[in-house]
Amino acid sequence: MAVTTHELEHAGGYAAPPRPSGWRRWTAPGWLRVLWVVPLSFILSALLVLGARAALGYETAGFGALNPFGDNFFEFGTVELQVLIVVWLVVVPLGFLAGIGGFDYWAYWISGRPSRPEDHSGHGARTWKDYFRVNTDHKVIGIQYLATTIFFFVGAGLMAMFMRAELAKPGMQFVDNNTFNGLFSVHASLMIFLFVIPAFAGLGNYVIPLMIGAPDMAFPRLNALSFWLLPIAGFIMLSSFVVPDGGAFSAGWTNYATLAVHQPVGNVFFQMAVQWAGASSIMTALNFLVTIITMRAPGMSFWRLPLLVWANFATSTLVVIATPFIAGSQFFILFDRVLHTNFFNPGEGGDVIAYQHIFWFYSHPAVYIMMLPGFGIASEVISVFARKPIFGYRLMALSLMAILILGFSVWAHHMFVSGMAPWLRIPMMVTTMLIAIPTGIKVFSWLATLWEGRIHFKTPMLFASGFVSMFVIGGLSGVYLGSIPVDIHASDTYFVVAHIHYVLFGGSLFTIFAGIYYWFPKMTGRMYNERLGKLHFWLTFIGFNVTFFPMHWLGLHGMPRRVSDYADRFGDLNFIISIASFFLGASTVVFIYNMVVSWRRGEPAPANPWRALTLEWQVSSPPPIFNFDEIPQVVGSPYEYGVRGARHAVMNGDRAEVPEREKVISD
């Protein structure tokens, strides 16, 4: 049999191809090429806009405005600046992607030059520098995702600290209204689009192919491209703070018409960033769907899939169906602003409420996009650390699918006081309440999984159990908000702020932490520091509750959300909340220190430190470059803890008699 590149790789005889030298370094994919392609696309697209405006006789500052030494440098009119920004935010990211090498393979293929199907030069990371290149290895991409999202998590968290500093006392102290509104808008946008959603995509990227016994994702190049769209979206959102003429977008992450249409030009940054982040989401989700449907190892039937894979399947379906709606809603706003359409202009027959329907048709399912992968991670972690099969596996999987379907029928519960068609409210309340049933099934099944277990409270388990209890609080406050009479009182107040943070911080963020600690040994080949992990958990858990629980009371008593100033009688409680939030912010330092130091100097991790049964733990830590030397044969459920002799899979052609459990552990 001929020796293939794959086998060479596995034999360790495969090295990265030599990097280009001399002037070719400037034309090869990478940061040097970005250095000249990005300014070039910036200038060319500006010339195009200015030229077109001059030719059509519109008001223009002329080409002189591009000359840094000219006397009218960058003095564009409001209208022209907005057009320029839209074109830049389309063209420059494409220039960046072309420069970094996101399109190289396709360009070869389209232009008829020989493509290189067996070229794995972009596969695997040999040095830290490889994490800054276009790489098609799902394990590298997973870590790229996680590092990027944690960067934006810290940024958005710091914005929350600024807000809490301003809110510590009534009156205005540190920032003006414009900055404050920008802070909470960008905070929410980054947390949602650049942290929670892609952090789950990153964990899934690393783990899903391993869990189903696949060598990689179905479309590795698409996978790389969808990662590189993310830093673009994040950079656009952050850079909106330095926009001359009005600063960051400040109409909230919901960006309601008609306020959004009348905002300064910074608002365009939100619309365009959402397009890039949304495109990234959709491509990744398609990739997950195809991978899960077509690349499962032999014997891996749907009823043998780990629940994280089920959760990812449901999430990806939600993303593919729902995300185009937020893209649409932001395009409508953009068209109203730039093309002077009247989608949301009531004076010209536009419908203001229509925006909210389109927006929430994505943004409610988005809550499940941010929640279901967390459910999956919690199921993995709880089963492994309780040393028990997951309770009611099939009902757990089916309730994920029930949430997926019901999730599309509840969007207007965000609009009970919006003045929408009154008849729509009761049906939306009923479907909203129904979602409590599959969610309840999940919570009760996790609790039943703990029952009669042998529970080891390692850091991932602490975060997973913290998640269950905090998520229950978020779920129950959701029942209050689902009841229309109570919602009429509580909507748009701090009660809602408390609710969403119990769901997205207590829910999503706790499971992201659980997932990162749980797979850290697999990803890095080193153990994290357990003591620091536990310290991180307790700081987070206490800080989180003291920060967000009192907000329920504030909201019910009359403090609206999204305000920089409030009635004096709320001063004391807000001061306590602010102190607790700084404490909570500081806990992140412990986390990052643990991650960085453990990755560099942690104890080497065994292949399977948690004695787990799922496939990713049956290979070395970190896994070989193509995951499995031989595709495993799946023979049973992934959660058969305590069942003597039960196996999930047969590895490496080991078709011998099923060995004793002890032997499996010592592998």
Site for another protein, residues 626 to 645, rule: CB under 8 A:
640-643
Q: Looking at 81, 159, 233, 251, which residue binds another protein (CB under 8 A)?
A: 251
Terminal CA-CA length for the chain: 30
Considering the rule CB under 8 A, would residue 303 count as an interface residue with another protein?
Answer: no
Choose, by CB under 8 A, the member of 426, 601, 657, 663 that binds another protein. Answer: 426
- Burial call 155-171: b when 16+ CB within 10 Å, e when fewer: bbbebbbbbbebbbeee
> Residue 245 in contact with residue 85, Cβ under 8 Å?
no
Out of 9, 351, 629, 667, name the contact with another protein by CB under 8 A.
Answer: 351
Closer residue to another protein in complex, CB, 595/612: 612
Q: Nearer to another protein by C-beta: 198 or 453?
A: 453
Minimum CB distance to another protein, residue 498 (Å): 12
Residues 266-285 contacting another protein, CB under 8 A: none
Length of the chain, in residues = 667
Interaction between residue 259 and another protein (CB under 8 A): yes
Among 154, 165, 290, 486, binds another protein (CB under 8 A): 486
Distances in whole angstroms, Cα of residue 157 to Cα of each of 298, 357, 586: 44, 29, 10
- Does 423 bind another protein (CB under 8 A)? Our answer is no
Chain residues 369-398 in contact with another protein, contact rule CB under 8 A: 386-389, 391-395
Which residues, other chains included, contact 638 with Cβ-Cβ below 8 Å and sequence gap of 6+?
A: 211, 304, 305, 306, 613, 614, 615, 648
Question: Which 4-33 residues touch another protein, going by CB under 8 A?
Answer: none
Residue choice 35, 44, 48, 476 for contact with another protein (CB under 8 A): 476
Q: Which of 63, 444, 538, 593 binds another protein (CB under 8 A)?
A: 444
State in angstroms the smallest separation of the CB of 179 from another protein.
10
By beta-carbon proximity to another protein, the closer residue of 558 and 604 is 558
Least separation in angstroms between CB 325 and another protein: 20
Q: Give the separation between CA 1 and CA 103, rounded to whole angstroms.
A: 34
Task: Kindly state the smallest distance separating residue 388's Cβ from another protein, in Å.
Answer: 4
Q: How far is the CB of 417 from another protein (least distance, A)?
A: 5
Judged by CB under 8 A, the residue of 94, 154, 434, 542 near another protein is: 434
Does position 562 interact with another protein (CB under 8 A)? The reply is yes
Q: Does 429 interact with another protein (rule: CB under 8 A)?
A: yes
> Which of 553, 575, 582, 599 lies at the binding interface for another protein (CB under 8 A)?
553
Total binding residues for another protein by CB under 8 A? 90
Single out the segment in contact with another protein by CB under 8 A; choices: 124-132, 202-210, 245-253, 533-541.
Answer: 245-253
CA distance 139 to 531: 27
Question: Which CB, 67 or 177, lies closer to another protein?
Answer: 177
C-alpha torsion sign, points 137, 142, 145, 146: negative
Cβ count near 306 (within 10 Å): 28
Q: Which residue number, 123 or 388, has a Cβ lying nearer to another protein?
A: 388
C-beta of residue 214 within 8 angstroms of C-beta of residue 296: yes
List of residues 6+ apart from 264 with CB closer than 8 A: 243, 245, 246, 247
Cα diameter, the chain: 83
Burial of residue 259 (number of CB atoms within 10 Å: 0-12, 13-18, 19+) = middle
Site string for another protein, 164-193 (x = CB under 8 A): ------------xxx--x------------
From 93-101, 205-213, 222-230, 346-354, span contacting another protein (CB under 8 A): 346-354
Binding of another protein at residue 433 (CB under 8 A)?
Answer: yes
Residue nearer to another protein on the CB measure, 10 or 661: 661
> Which of 337, 561, 647, 648 touches another protein (CB under 8 A)?
561
What is d(CA 476, CA 82) in angstroms, rounded to the nearest whole number? Answer: 44
CB of 343 to another protein, least distance (A): 12
Binding of residue 424 to another protein (CB under 8 A): no
Could you tell me which residues come within 8 angstroms of residue 388 by beta carbon, excluding any fewer than 6 positions away? 449, 450, 452, 453, 454, 639, 641, 642
Q: Does 485 interact with another protein (rule: CB under 8 A)?
A: yes
Q: Which of 66, 297, 320, 352 binds another protein (CB under 8 A)?
A: 352
Residue closer to another protein by CB (options 47, 421) is: 421
User: Which H or E element spans position 150?
Assistant: helix 138-167
Provide, rounded to whole angstroms, the least separation between the CB of residue 171 and another protein.
Answer: 11
Sign of CA pseudo-dihedral 481, 487, 489, 495: positive
Stretch binding another protein (CB under 8 A), from 27-35, 57-65, 114-122, 411-419: 411-419
Sole binder of another protein in the list 450, 527, 542, 607 (CB under 8 A): 450
Q: Is residue 576 close enough to count as binding another protein by CB under 8 A?
A: no
Binding residue for another protein, selected from 469, 589, 620, 645, defined by CB under 8 A:
469
Q: Which is nearer to another protein, 338 or 353 (CB)?
A: 353
Q: Any contact of residue 465 with another protein (CB under 8 A)?
A: yes
What does the alpha-carbon distance between residue 29 and residue 141 come to, in Å, rounded to a whole number? 17
Torsion angles phi and psi, residue 664, rounded to 5: -60, -40
The encoded tokens of residue 644 equal 């003597």
Is 447 an interacting residue with respect to another protein (CB under 8 A)?
yes
CB of 252 vs another protein, minimal distance in Å: 5
Residue by residue, DSSP assigns 398-451 as HHHHHHHHHGGG-GGGGGTTTT--GGGHHHHHHHHHHHHHHHHHHHHHHHHHHT
353 binds another protein (CB under 8 A): yes
Q: Which residues contact 66 (CB under 8 A, 6 or more apart)?
A: 43, 46, 47, 50, 73
Query: Which candidate, 86, 84, 96, places its Cα nearest to that of 272?
Result: 86
Rule CB under 8 A: say whether 452 interacts with another protein.
Answer: yes
DSSP 50-67: HHHHHHHT-----GGGG-
Q: Using CB under 8 A, which of 115, 121, 239, 258 touches another protein?
A: 258
Peptide bond into 127 cis (omega under 30): no
